[in-house]
Amino acid sequence: MWSFVLKRLLHMIPLLLGVSLLTFLLMSLAPGDFFTTLSQNPQISPDTIARLKAQFHLDKPWYVQYFFWLKNILSGDFGYSMAYKIPATALIFQRLWNTFLLSFIALIIAWGIAIPLGVSAAVKKDSWIDRGSSLVAFVGLSISEILLALLALWVAAATGWFPIGGAESPLHDLMSPVQQFWDYTHHLILPAIVLAAADMAGIMRQMRSNLLDTLRAEYVTAARARGLGEGRVIYKHALRNAINPLLTIFGYSLSNLLSGAFIVENIMAWPGLGRLTMEAFFAKDSYLVVDCVVMATALLVIGNFIADILLAWSDPRIRLK
């Protein structure tokens, strides 16, 4: 088991290096940089710009820039955000935390609702609950996060139950820690629900078809033949085996979730990585874009890593391979 964990862990390093190299290459191909607009400003002398460029190593070829960037990253320094004029490290981690929390809560909501629904749809196949949930799933698969997020904003504005966008109220800084926590949670609920709703349909359909497949297996018939109660047959024998393939789609679901979070953050003004990426993109702060892409990828890769470990833990065949 430990050798499997180590192997997977070592596999992540070249992947993250490759992703950072690719993003860096792409950003270096971008026409113009942060200083292109500054150089049009007559109040800033060309000397200042040249000095600033040298300070950020922007006057060197992209692979040299990459090595400077990598060296800093490895010592935990994400550099200085040219657009925000603050050190990028704190900014990135604060946004990363927001995105992580949003995705994590959405994940819990989505799986918490989708799995029981999928199980009951499979157990009571062709009943109203099965038909109803598969209809909802079809609609859920086809509805885009954009529409869901816009509708959520509309609901928030019409009912006043939820704040319209953002992560904190204007008076957040004056609140007590407990109030601050509630304020943050209050802002988090709606985006998380939107994100979860978009992700739920796929998981539910997968759960249903997995359980239907296992219910057809011979050991289920054998368990029934031995006279076990239907509840024990389904929940003790079939369900445990139906969960396994679900862990493999966890990574896929996580990838969808992060892309979905990108949209939700931008529409509902949730200050996460996706929103920061767009802000950095428009400000031409290319280092910050690279940082965001690498951090989002790291989030996904670590999520996949955890899913792999869980799978290996629940299915010994995987780690022996």
Partner 1 sequence: MENSAPISITESQKPLSPWRLFWLRLKRRRIAMLGGVILIFLYSVMLFAGFVAPYTYSRQDRDRFFHPPIWPRPSGFHIVVPRYEQLPGDFVYREVPNDTKPLHFFVRGDQYKLFGLIPATVHLFGSDDNYPLYLLGTDQFGRDVFSRLLYGSEISLSIGVVGILLSFALGMIIGGISGYFSGVTDTVIMRFCELIMSIPALYLIISLRATFPPDMSSSQVYAMIVVILSFIGWASMARVIRGMTLSLREQQFVLAARSLGQSNFKIIVRHILPNTLSYVIVAATLSVPYYILGEVVLSFLGVGIQEPQASWGNMLTAAEDIQYLQNYPWLLAPSAAIFVTVLAFNFLGDGLRDAADTKSL
The DSSP call for residue 87 is E
Q: Are 291 and 78 in contact (CB under 8 A)?
A: yes
179 alpha carbon, distance to own chain's centre: 27
Of 141, 96, 149, 131, nearest to 274 by C-alpha is 96
Stretch that binds partner 1, among 62-70, 219-227, 265-273, 311-319 (CB under 8 A): 265-273
Q: Is 4 or 281 the residue whose CB approaches partner 1 more closely?
A: 281
Alpha-carbon distance 207 to 211, whole Å?
Answer: 6
Q: Is 206 in the site for partner 1 (CB under 8 A)?
A: no
Location of structure tokens 């992060």: 258
Stretch that binds partner 1, among 52-60, 119-127, 212-220, 285-293 (CB under 8 A): 285-293
Q: Is 97 or 154 the residue whose CB approaches partner 1 more closely?
A: 154
Least distance CB 185 / partner 1 (angstroms): 22
C-beta atoms surrounding 268 within 10 Å: 26
Least distance CB 2 / partner 1 (angstroms): 24
Q: Is 225 in the site for partner 1 (CB under 8 A)?
A: no
Least distance CB 303 / partner 1 (angstroms): 10
Binding map of partner 1 across residues 2-41, x = CB under 8 A, - = no contact: -------------x--xx--xx--xx-xxx----------
Least distance CB 30 / partner 1 (angstroms): 4
Alpha-carbon distance 91 to 301, whole Å?
Answer: 21
Residue 208, classified by CB atoms within 10 Å of its CB into exposed (0-12), middle (13-18) or buried (19+), is: buried
- Interacting residue with partner 1 among 262, 287, 291, 312 (CB under 8 A): 262
Residues 54-113 that bind partner 1 (CB under 8 A): none
Of 140, 94, 88, 93, nearest to 117 by C-alpha is 140
Least distance CB 199 / partner 1 (angstroms): 13
Q: Is 307 in the site for partner 1 (CB under 8 A)?
A: no
Least distance CB 59 / partner 1 (angstroms): 20
Q: Is 267 or 311 the residue whose CB approaches partner 1 more closely?
A: 267
Least distance CB 297 / partner 1 (angstroms): 5
Q: Is 119 in the site for partner 1 (CB under 8 A)?
A: no
φ, ψ dihedrals at 295, nearest 5°: -65, -40
Q: Is 305 in the site for partner 1 (CB under 8 A)?
A: no
Alpha-carbon distance 321 to 313, whole Å?
Answer: 13
Location of structure tokens 């869980």: 310
User: What kind and span of H or E run contains 165?
Assistant: none
Output the CA angle 102-106-108, nearest 5 degrees: 125
Binding map of partner 1 across residues 151-180, x = CB under 8 A, - = no contact: --xx--xx-----x----------------
171 alpha carbon, distance to own chain's centre: 29
Alpha-carbon distance 18 to 24, whole Å?
Answer: 10
**Contacts for 7 with CB less than 8 Å, ≥ 6 apart:** none
- Interacting residue with partner 1 among 263, 307, 309, 311 (CB under 8 A): 263
Phi-psi region of 193 (alpha: psi -120 to 50; beta: other; left: phi over 0): alpha
Residues that bind partner 1 (CB under 8 A): 15, 18-19, 22-23, 26-27, 29-31, 138-139, 141-144, 146-147, 150, 153-154, 157-158, 164, 255, 258-259, 262-263, 266-267, 273-274, 277-278, 281, 286, 289-290, 292-293, 296-297, 300-301, 304
